[in-house]
Amino acid sequence: MKPVLIISTYPDKKSISKIAKDLVKNKTVACVNISKISSIYYWNGKIEDTYEYIAIFKTTTKNKKSLKQKIKETHPYNVPEIAEIDVTSINTSYMKWLEESTN
């Protein structure tokens, strides 16, 4: 089994906190890091300059498909970012915790 990181951005802390808690409770993810960020992007014909919350979902290959589907189903954006980061190296003790937390 391999570690998987999925990144997405959310419009507010309330929307990401709810899904994060559900995913940890159901053991789909071991952890979700949430941080407020400044985002500048082009949307609907204009440049947006706003705050969002970035979420880093930590899971394993076993759960990545269901995680991506859950993000897609619950995300408040019309076009959510669901980006998978390929983890090529991780320390053994962290990987052990990740596997135990998602089983």
Annotated domain spans of the chain: 3-101
Q: 3-101 has which CATH code?
A: 3.30.70.120
Going by the DSSP 8-state scheme, the letter that residue 76 receives in this structure is S
What is the C-alpha separation between 54 and 68, in angstroms, rounded? 15
pLDDT band at 86 (very low <50, low <70, confident <90, very high): confident
| Rounded alpha-carbon distances, angstroms, from residue 72 to 8, 9, 34 | 10, 12, 18
Strand ranges, E, within 1-103: 3-10, 31-43, 46-60, 83-86
- The per-residue pLDDT for range 44-76, each reduced to its tens digit, is 999 999 999 999 999 999 999 999 999 999 999
What is the C-alpha separation between 22 and 45, in angstroms, rounded? 35
Q: Model pTM? A: 0.93
- The per-residue pLDDT for range 2-33, each reduced to its tens digit, is 999 999 999 999 999 999 999 999 999 999 99
